[in-house]
Protein backbone atom coordinates (compact mmCIF):
# COMPACT_ATOMS: atom_id res chain seq x y z
CA UNK A 1 0.00 0.00 0.00
CA UNK A 2 1.21 3.49 -0.82
CA UNK A 3 2.46 5.50 2.17
CA UNK A 4 0.18 8.16 3.61
CA UNK A 5 2.40 11.04 2.57
CA UNK A 6 2.53 9.87 -1.06
CA UNK A 7 -1.19 9.21 -1.50
CA UNK A 8 -2.79 11.89 -3.69
CA UNK A 9 -6.32 12.43 -2.33
CA UNK A 10 -8.50 14.83 -4.31
CA UNK A 11 -11.79 16.24 -3.00
CA UNK A 12 -13.96 17.62 -5.80
CA UNK A 13 -15.13 21.20 -5.29
CA UNK A 14 -18.29 21.98 -7.24
CA UNK A 15 -19.39 24.87 -5.05
CA UNK A 16 -21.68 23.03 -2.65
CA UNK A 17 -19.80 20.16 -1.03
CA UNK A 18 -18.95 19.95 2.64
CA UNK A 19 -15.26 20.26 1.84
CA UNK A 20 -13.84 21.44 5.14
CA UNK A 21 -15.25 18.52 7.13
CA UNK A 22 -13.78 16.04 4.63
CA UNK A 23 -10.38 17.72 4.62
CA UNK A 24 -10.36 17.82 8.44
CA UNK A 25 -11.35 14.16 8.68
CA UNK A 26 -8.55 13.13 6.30
CA UNK A 27 -6.08 15.25 8.26
CA UNK A 28 -7.23 13.65 11.54
CA UNK A 29 -6.53 10.23 10.00
CA UNK A 30 -3.03 11.35 9.02
CA UNK A 31 -3.65 12.04 5.34
CA UNK A 32 -3.34 15.24 3.35
CA UNK A 33 -6.24 15.87 0.98
CA UNK A 34 -6.33 18.54 -1.70
CA UNK A 35 -9.27 20.35 -3.26
CA UNK A 36 -9.85 19.75 -6.98
CA UNK A 37 -11.38 22.89 -8.46
CA UNK A 38 -10.90 21.99 -12.12
CA UNK A 39 -10.82 18.62 -13.97
CA UNK A 40 -7.05 18.69 -14.50
CA UNK A 41 -6.56 18.51 -10.72
CA UNK A 42 -7.83 14.90 -10.87
CA UNK A 43 -5.29 13.67 -13.42
CA UNK A 44 -2.80 12.45 -10.80
CA UNK A 45 -5.38 11.35 -8.19
CA UNK A 46 -4.98 8.11 -6.24
CA UNK A 47 -8.26 8.67 -4.38
CA UNK A 48 -11.22 10.82 -5.42
CA UNK A 49 -13.87 11.97 -2.96
CA UNK A 50 -17.10 13.58 -4.14
CA UNK A 51 -18.83 15.15 -1.12
CA UNK A 52 -22.35 16.37 -1.49
CA UNK A 53 -24.98 18.68 -0.13
CA UNK A 54 -27.64 20.47 -2.12
CA UNK A 55 -29.65 19.98 -5.27
CA UNK A 56 -29.07 17.29 -7.92
CA UNK A 57 -29.62 19.68 -10.84
CA UNK A 58 -27.39 22.45 -9.54
CA UNK A 59 -24.68 19.95 -8.63
CA UNK A 60 -24.70 18.36 -12.08
CA UNK A 61 -24.47 21.78 -13.74
CA UNK A 62 -21.15 22.27 -11.94
CA UNK A 63 -20.03 18.65 -12.25
CA UNK A 64 -20.55 18.43 -16.00
CA UNK A 65 -16.99 19.61 -16.62
CA UNK A 66 -15.67 16.84 -14.33
CA UNK A 67 -17.77 14.09 -15.92
CA UNK A 68 -15.29 12.79 -18.48
CA UNK A 69 -12.27 12.74 -16.18
CA UNK A 70 -14.22 11.10 -13.34
CA UNK A 71 -15.33 8.31 -15.69
CA UNK A 72 -11.78 7.97 -17.00
CA UNK A 73 -10.19 7.71 -13.54
CA UNK A 74 -12.80 5.25 -12.25
CA UNK A 75 -12.30 3.06 -15.34
CA UNK A 76 -8.54 3.17 -14.68
CA UNK A 77 -9.16 1.75 -11.20
CA UNK A 78 -8.74 4.89 -9.09
CA UNK A 79 -10.74 4.52 -5.87
CA UNK A 80 -13.77 6.85 -5.82
CA UNK A 81 -16.05 7.71 -2.90
CA UNK A 82 -19.34 9.56 -3.31
CA UNK A 83 -20.92 10.98 -0.14
CA UNK A 84 -24.60 11.91 0.40
CA UNK A 85 -25.55 13.77 -2.80
CA UNK A 86 -22.42 12.08 -4.14
CA UNK A 87 -24.20 8.69 -4.11
CA UNK A 88 -27.08 10.25 -6.04
CA UNK A 89 -25.23 12.08 -8.80
CA UNK A 90 -23.31 8.92 -9.76
CA UNK A 91 -26.67 7.52 -10.92
CA UNK A 92 -28.37 8.35 -14.22
CA UNK A 93 -31.12 10.69 -13.03
CA UNK A 94 -33.19 11.98 -10.11
CA UNK A 95 -36.78 13.00 -9.49
CA UNK A 96 -35.31 16.14 -7.93
CA UNK A 97 -34.20 17.43 -11.33
CA UNK A 98 -36.15 15.89 -14.24
CA UNK A 99 -34.31 15.82 -17.57
CA UNK A 100 -30.93 16.37 -15.91
CA UNK A 101 -28.46 13.56 -16.53
CA UNK A 102 -26.28 12.32 -13.67
CA UNK A 103 -22.72 11.05 -13.99
CA UNK A 104 -24.06 7.66 -15.03
CA UNK A 105 -21.40 5.61 -13.25
CA UNK A 106 -24.17 3.38 -11.89
CA UNK A 107 -27.48 2.46 -13.55
CA UNK A 108 -30.38 3.76 -11.49
CA UNK A 109 -32.26 6.84 -10.37
CA UNK A 110 -33.10 8.78 -7.22
CA UNK A 111 -36.60 8.94 -5.79
CA UNK A 112 -38.18 11.32 -3.29
CA UNK A 113 -39.28 9.84 0.01
CA UNK A 114 -43.07 9.26 0.18
CA UNK A 115 -45.15 12.28 1.17
CA UNK A 116 -46.25 10.66 4.43
CA UNK A 117 -42.68 10.85 5.75
CA UNK A 118 -40.99 13.86 7.28
CA UNK A 119 -38.29 15.09 4.93
CA UNK A 120 -35.44 15.49 4.92
CA UNK A 121 -34.53 12.23 6.57
CA UNK A 122 -32.20 13.85 9.07
CA UNK A 123 -30.27 12.43 12.00
CA UNK A 124 -28.81 9.11 13.10
CA UNK A 125 -29.99 5.83 11.62
CA UNK A 126 -28.69 2.29 11.34
CA UNK A 127 -27.35 0.29 8.43
CA UNK A 128 -28.14 -3.36 7.66
CA UNK A 129 -25.11 -4.95 6.03
CA UNK A 130 -25.65 -7.49 3.27
CA UNK A 131 -22.03 -7.77 2.12
CA UNK A 132 -19.63 -7.64 5.08
CA UNK A 133 -16.69 -8.32 2.74
CA UNK A 134 -16.92 -4.82 1.24
CA UNK A 135 -13.60 -3.04 1.90
CA UNK A 136 -15.43 -0.01 3.36
CA UNK A 137 -16.98 -2.18 6.08
CA UNK A 138 -13.85 -3.56 7.71
CA UNK A 139 -14.52 -3.29 11.46
CA UNK A 140 -18.13 -2.10 10.95
CA UNK A 141 -21.12 -4.14 12.17
CA UNK A 142 -24.76 -4.22 11.13
CA UNK A 143 -27.02 -1.91 13.17
CA UNK A 144 -24.21 0.65 13.48
CA UNK A 145 -25.43 4.25 13.46
CA UNK A 146 -24.48 6.90 10.89
CA UNK A 147 -25.63 10.47 10.23
CA UNK A 148 -28.03 11.17 7.36
CA UNK A 149 -29.46 14.34 5.77
CA UNK A 150 -31.38 13.78 2.52
CA UNK A 151 -34.82 14.05 0.89
CA UNK A 152 -34.13 11.69 -2.01
CA UNK A 153 -32.74 8.17 -2.02
CA UNK A 154 -30.97 6.01 -4.61
CA UNK A 155 -32.51 3.04 -6.39
CA UNK A 156 -29.99 1.02 -8.38
CA UNK A 157 -30.69 -1.53 -11.11
CA UNK A 158 -27.97 -3.97 -10.06
CA UNK A 159 -28.81 -4.91 -6.48
CA UNK A 160 -25.60 -6.93 -6.16
CA UNK A 161 -23.68 -3.67 -5.64
CA UNK A 162 -25.76 -2.78 -2.56
CA UNK A 163 -23.68 -3.68 0.48
CA UNK A 164 -25.85 -2.01 3.14
CA UNK A 165 -29.41 -0.70 3.40
CA UNK A 166 -31.18 1.69 5.75
CA UNK A 167 -34.87 1.96 6.52
CA UNK A 168 -36.76 5.25 6.65
CA UNK A 169 -40.27 4.33 5.64
CA UNK A 170 -38.67 2.54 2.69
CA UNK A 171 -35.53 0.44 2.47
CA UNK A 172 -32.85 2.21 0.45
CA UNK A 173 -29.17 1.58 -0.33
CA UNK A 174 -27.00 3.41 2.19
CA UNK A 175 -23.71 1.96 0.90
CA UNK A 176 -22.93 0.73 -2.60
CA UNK A 177 -19.70 -0.79 -3.84
CA UNK A 178 -18.67 -1.83 -7.34
CA UNK A 179 -14.98 -2.73 -7.45
CA UNK A 180 -13.13 0.60 -6.90
CA UNK A 181 -16.37 2.65 -6.86
CA UNK A 182 -17.88 3.32 -3.43
CA UNK A 183 -20.66 5.58 -2.21
CA UNK A 184 -22.53 6.27 1.03
CA UNK A 185 -25.87 8.03 1.49
CA UNK A 186 -24.81 9.06 5.00
CA UNK A 187 -22.03 11.47 5.93
CA UNK A 188 -19.04 9.47 7.28
CA UNK A 189 -17.27 12.74 8.14
CA UNK A 190 -20.16 13.61 10.49
CA UNK A 191 -20.64 10.11 11.91
CA UNK A 192 -18.09 9.96 14.73
CA UNK A 193 -15.60 7.14 15.14
CA UNK A 194 -17.40 4.68 12.88
CA UNK A 195 -17.66 7.26 10.14
CA UNK A 196 -13.94 7.92 10.39
CA UNK A 197 -13.38 4.16 10.21
CA UNK A 198 -15.32 4.04 6.91
CA UNK A 199 -13.22 6.91 5.57
CA UNK A 200 -10.00 5.25 6.78
CA UNK A 201 -11.01 2.00 5.07
CA UNK A 202 -11.54 3.89 1.83
CA UNK A 203 -8.19 5.66 2.04
CA UNK A 204 -6.45 2.34 2.78
CA UNK A 205 -8.28 0.49 -0.02
CA UNK A 206 -6.09 -1.53 -2.35
CA UNK A 207 -7.17 -3.57 -5.37
Catalytic residue among 84, 93, 110, 150: 84
**84 part of the active site:** yes
**110 part of the active site:** no
Catalytic residue among 110, 121, 134, 189: 189
Per residue, what are the HEC states of the chain? CCCHHHCCEEEECCCCCCHHHHHHHHHHCCCCEEEECCHHHHCCCCEEEECCCCCHHHHHHHHHHHHHHHHHHHHCCCEEEEECHHHHHCCCEECCCCCCCCCCCCCEEEEECCCCCCCCEEEEEECEECCCCCHHHCCCCCCCEEEEEECEEEEECCHHHEEEEEEECEEEEEEEEECCEEEECCCHHHCHHHHHHHHHHHHCCCC
**121 part of the active site:** no
Q: Catalytic amino acids?
A: 84, 187, 189
Amino acid sequence: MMSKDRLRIKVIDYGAGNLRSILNACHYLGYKAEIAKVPSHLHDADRIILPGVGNFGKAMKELEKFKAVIKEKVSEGVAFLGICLGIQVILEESEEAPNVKGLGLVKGRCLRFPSNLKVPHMGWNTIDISNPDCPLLKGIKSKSYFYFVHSYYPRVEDESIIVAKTNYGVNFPSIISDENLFATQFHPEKSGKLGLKILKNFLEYKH
